[in-house]
Amino acid sequence: MTFLRASGGVQWTGMILALLVAAVFGGASAQGQPGFPVLASLGGVAIASGLLWQFRRGMYAVSLCAVALVLAIAAYLLADGATRHPGYWATVIAVWLGAWMLVARFAELPRRNGAVGNMQALLAPVTFGATLLWLWEVIVRALEVPRVILPAPSAIWARIIRSTDVLWIDFVQTFVKGALSGFAIGVGAALVFALLVDRSDFLRRGLLPVGNFLAALPIIGTAPIMVMWFGFDWPSKAAVVVAMVFFPMLVNTVQGLAATEAMQRDLMRTYNASWAQALFKLRLPAAMPFIFNGLKISSTLALIGAIVAEFFGSPTRGMGFRISTEVGRLQLDMVWAEIAVAALAGSLFYGLIALAERWVTFWHPSQRGR
């Protein structure tokens, strides 16, 4: 039973079994059964991935990708003719196990350096995500889930294509006007305030516990108050974002500014460095990992704050407004389209900050490790 211990061995065995079940059902009744090309290509995938261990390194990676491609084609064909037939489910399970096996093997591949290595790191998560999306699609189609409960990914995609103009207007209103401006103001204010706090030890000892406490509070609850003060349009959303972003950012920056060692500060003193010089040449760079940690936390908070604040009143545009009204009209594909846009915008925003972090704090151990 040694092959069970190889990576993806259990999944491979399961895949073969599921295919056998599918073939048996196929023999019993041809109606509603996945077609011969699907079963044949899946069988090919199973046999090929059983033999792959014979290949050498480079060949192994290439043939693994070829197997993945065949599996993807079979999965696509399978999603097209969805039925509730048991043989169909057996085939779906076979594809799922096959994809799982691929994920396990992608994860085991020896990592190269540089761009190829970066692509390699993406293989496993992308396969995993694609499998989830595919399962969602297949289950929705086969069970004929009503559109008002859960639309299929393909329907959501069609909706995104059809209503790009509305999505764009909402995106500008919520993300650019509400979240980004609030993020900039809140982060800027927190940075300035942190520099002030840093000059006095008394203030630092007083503000850190209070700031930590306030950062843990449900600040999002101030949204109705902000809407009352600043009106329905984007300034109230930006104000909520400022309030949410300020304390995490403040606490992180103050901690970061205190992160230098006594030895390093002494060195600055022997250079007779002024406060500003010591700040820009030593303490601010040393605080950067902490500041970026705060920026990352704030970036997700900003989008959440801007969207949730719209539930308490907004002009007739914006992601939060659209989500709450379209839920009421049971247009769930539009809701999911907004969520997809929000997720994409949030991930890109986070990714940009992570990139900037790698560029600025290249010296930090957590960035050098890879």
Partner 1 sequence: MRNLLPVLSVVAALLALWYAAVVPMNAQWAQDQARRAGQELSFAALVTDTMNQQRPRLPAPHQVAQELWNSTVVEEMTGRRGFMNTGTLSNRSLIYHGWVTLSATLLGFAIGSGLGIALAVGIVHNRAMDASVMPWAIASQTIPILAIAPMIIVVLNAVGITGLVPKAIISTYLSFFPVVVGMVKGLRAPDQMQLDLMKTYSASGRQVFAKLRWPSAMPYLFASLKVAIAAALVGAIVAELPTGAVAGLGARLLSGSYYGQTVQIWSALFAAAILAASMVALIGLIQRVTLRRMGMAT
For residue 278, the minimal CB distance to partner 1 (Å) is: 24
- Cβ distance 187 to 240 under 8 Å? no
**88 vs 333 by CB, closer to partner 1:** 333
For residue 263, the minimal CB distance to partner 1 (Å) is: 24
**7 vs 264 by CB, closer to partner 1:** 7
* CA dist., res. 196 & res. 193, Å (int): 5
For residue 259, the minimal CB distance to partner 1 (Å) is: 18
Token readout for 268 is: 């600055």
**4 vs 149 by CB, closer to partner 1:** 149
Token readout for 43 is: 């069988």
**83 vs 324 by CB, closer to partner 1:** 324
* CA dist., res. 96 & res. 305, Å (int): 37
DSSP string over 327-344: HHTT-HHHHHHHHHHHHH
Q: What is the DSSP letter of 222?
A: G
What stretches of the chain show up as alpha helix (H) in DSSP? 9-28, 36-51, 57-80, 86-108, 114-143, 153-162, 164-171, 181-198, 201-216, 223-230, 234-257, 262-270, 275-278, 284-309, 319-328, 332-360, 365-368
- Cβ distance 196 to 253 under 8 Å? no
Give the footprint of partner 1 on this chain (CB under 8 A). Answer: 7-8, 100, 103-104, 106-108, 121, 124-125, 127-129, 148-150, 202-207, 209-210, 213, 216-218, 220-222, 224-225, 227-229, 299-300, 303-304, 307-308, 311-313, 319-320, 323-324, 327, 332, 335-336, 338-339, 342-343, 346-347, 349-350
**84 vs 111 by CB, closer to partner 1:** 111
For residue 274, the minimal CB distance to partner 1 (Å) is: 27
**174 vs 181 by CB, closer to partner 1:** 174
For residue 6, the minimal CB distance to partner 1 (Å) is: 12
For residue 320, the minimal CB distance to partner 1 (Å) is: 7
**37 vs 221 by CB, closer to partner 1:** 221
* CA dist., res. 248 & res. 296, Å (int): 10
For residue 124, the minimal CB distance to partner 1 (Å) is: 4
Q: What angle do CA 145, 149, 153 make, to 5 degrees?
A: 70
